[in-house]
Structure 1
């Protein structure tokens, strides 16, 4: 039960309750009796997972049944471990119900969303002063965060590098739709205290953002030690270097839990339409006044959204990004439906093959 794999966390002295364990998790675990123990996934390294339990961290693989179902635990998942000391093995055999699931659209024919983290309370969308401060990218992030069910907070790092730090929030507030926008400097510590309301004991926060915006530096600042490797943005192209290579859960000094992520260069919007609607509440509200209920907000007569753009009440760039994300969402949903049909077809072929084998066995 000695955990140690490169890139994952250190042994911890925390109880399950301190790791975010709730009455709902306890109730879901009641049906397991015998050599089963609960835990929370802290890190994944290829085919093994580091899991925090009430008696310390352990390394575990997953059962063949979970592999067959294509269910792989995500960082933040509460799982059920089968502990077999006589065999010297610990295996993840079940994933407890998730309160929230933070995903992003994944490439591939199946159109399956990729789970980034589970059981998240808050998502810090981390950007930085300079070229990374991109309102259109923030809108995309907000769409996938809203779809997860978690609470978004926009964190503008490296505020100390801006000539006018106050202007940073002014750039993002028009697209934030009431979401908190907090400028900080993870390097100097300026503004870090403004994050305290979201760092309560047992609360789980995930960091997302492009490479080089300072997520690892922010983790180190909140932990009070140099745990994560850091690097800046390349001077030649203004792009970040990937320093974090695995998703990993940390317990902060405040008792909050934080999940760091590798830098995300491309973020698919996924298949949940609710996230897009919540990311553009101003357009949603205007659309209720359109003449036609199925208005696309393009060239239709009586479009309240287009009228707002002409009147200068809505940014044309914001509407264009809404259209772009809407087209992407429709594409992802179509791809997911095709993937589901393929999956069902494959399943029925398997059932038919099994039926033929049973008939053959009976004849013999």
Structure 2
């Protein structure tokens, strides 16, 4: 079915179809090499700059192009993680001016993901091919910023493979004492990470944000922490709609409803993501250890290498907890994240078998349909 028949609200007037340099959107020799096979097939390359309900807006050398995935693409996809997301580079076949069909997605170099909500253990990719993840929190009160939530976001970001920076927004609304507490809390929750005090309203700290030409930066965090406002401030224009927090509890309002990439005057590429109310873990146990390096270092001093850190003699972790060297809250969250990922890994093993079975069913069905179509010609 034609895209415009399914989504009448998206027509040519929504697209900017002036020629562009795709190098300005992150294209380089590595991507050209990965795309070379598709070019011989007469396909064009493009980067997903917006995705909404499986309708994709891509930036190409001819301008923006509205696309959907091909039937073959759907048959080959095992789960939601295989579908394009904002930041992906894809191979597309033209289907008229300003429209196309996505035939393939190039392999990702980085991906920021979480586990999908519900009973399945699928990966939901939130943004792809990003150089830096900005974890945005508001520090003007309410429950938007806690050590536990930062540790959770930081663990997911570690798994992405991208660089990480923490943006403590709305610093202009805080006293010096509150700013100091926020900086210390962030440093304890994410040791070694780059932390910035910023204000989207006054511009405080924005000159220190990574925004090099051609670099892709994804902003993520809870609702109402000022991600969209930060992008507006960095761009010098109102690219995104914004809303204020609820005054009674400083909780965020859900404003951004889709993931979209913007090119700023500096040449940097920013991806704005909706605030996340549910953030289920995705990754490996090593990602947790990479965030809680202080706990891992203490555990290395245990008397026995197979210490379970419970009642064993010579347990360095229990000694650190009793002396106050190790914060009980942080240790409890460390164990909690470990349990969540361990449970995820066990569920994934069972689901992998089901996915492989479903995959071959799809391939067999596709082959039958192709055979039937050839016979009817």
1:220-261 deviations in Å (ceiling 9; x for gaps)? 001111111111221234321111000000111211111000
Q: Which residue number in structure 2 is paired with residue 72 of structure 1?
A: 83
Q: Is 1:180 paired with 2:194? A: yes
Rounded Cα–Cα distance in structure 2 between residues aligned with 1:173 and 1:291: 29
- TM-score, length basis structure 2: 0.86
Which segment is superposed worse, 9-18 or 239-248? 9-18
The alpha carbon displacement at 1:289 in A equals: 2.2
Does the CA contact (< 8 Å) of 2:76 and 2:363 recur in 1?
no
Q: Within 5 A, what are the aligned runs for 1:291-306? A: 291-306=303-318
Q: What is the rounded CA distance, in whole Å, between the counterparts of 2:364 and 2:242 in structure 1? A: 54
Matched, 1:26 2:32: yes
User: Does the CA-based 8 Å contact 1:158-1:184 persist in structure 2?
Assistant: yes
TM-score w.r.t. the length of structure 1 is: 0.89
Shift of 1:338: 1.9
Q: How many positions carry a matched residue from both structures?
A: 350
* 1:12–1:141 Cα change, 3 Å: farther
1:82 aligns with 2:93: yes
Question: Is there any run of 5+ residues in structure 1 with no aligned partner, and where?
Answer: 356-364
Residue 29 of structure 1 aligns to a residue in which SS?
helix
Matches of 2:282 and 2:15 in 1, distance apart? Answer: 30
* Deviation, structure 1 residue 345: 4.2
Structure 2 partner of 1:108: 118
Q: Tell me the C-alpha RMSD between the 2 structures.
A: 2.6
- Of the three residues 48, 60, 64, the one matched with 2:55 is 48
Give the Cα separation in 2 of the matches to 1:309 and 1:329.
24
Give the match for residue 322 of structure 1: 334
- CA positional deviation for 1:321: 0.5
Partner in structure 1 of residue 170 of structure 2:
158
Post-superposition offset of 1:334:
1.5
Q: Does 1:58 align with 2:68?
A: no
Q: How many angstroms does 1:82 deviate by?
A: 1.1
Return 126-135 or 115-124, whichever deviates more.
126-135
- Judge conservation of contact 2:15–2:64 (CA < 8 Å) in 1: no
Note closer, same or farther for the CA distance 1:255–1:348 as it changes in structure 2 (3 Å cut).
closer
Deviation track 1:91-116 (CA, whole Å, cap 9, x = no partner) reads 11111111101101112333011000
Large movers: runs of 4+ above 6 Å? 348-355
> Is the 1:124–1:153 contact (alpha carbons within 8 Å) kept by the matching residues of 2?
yes
Q: Deviations over 1:114-170 (max 9, x none)?
A: 000110111000001112221110000110000010111010000011122333212
Contact 1:25 1:97 (8 Å CA) reproduced = no
Per-residue CA deviations over 1:53-109 (Å, capped at 9, x if unaligned) read: 1221111111111112233101100111112449x8511111111110110111233
Q: Distance in 2 between matches of 1:204 and 1:322?
A: 30
Distance 2:15 2:22 in 1: 16
95, 105, 129: which one aligns with 1:95: 105
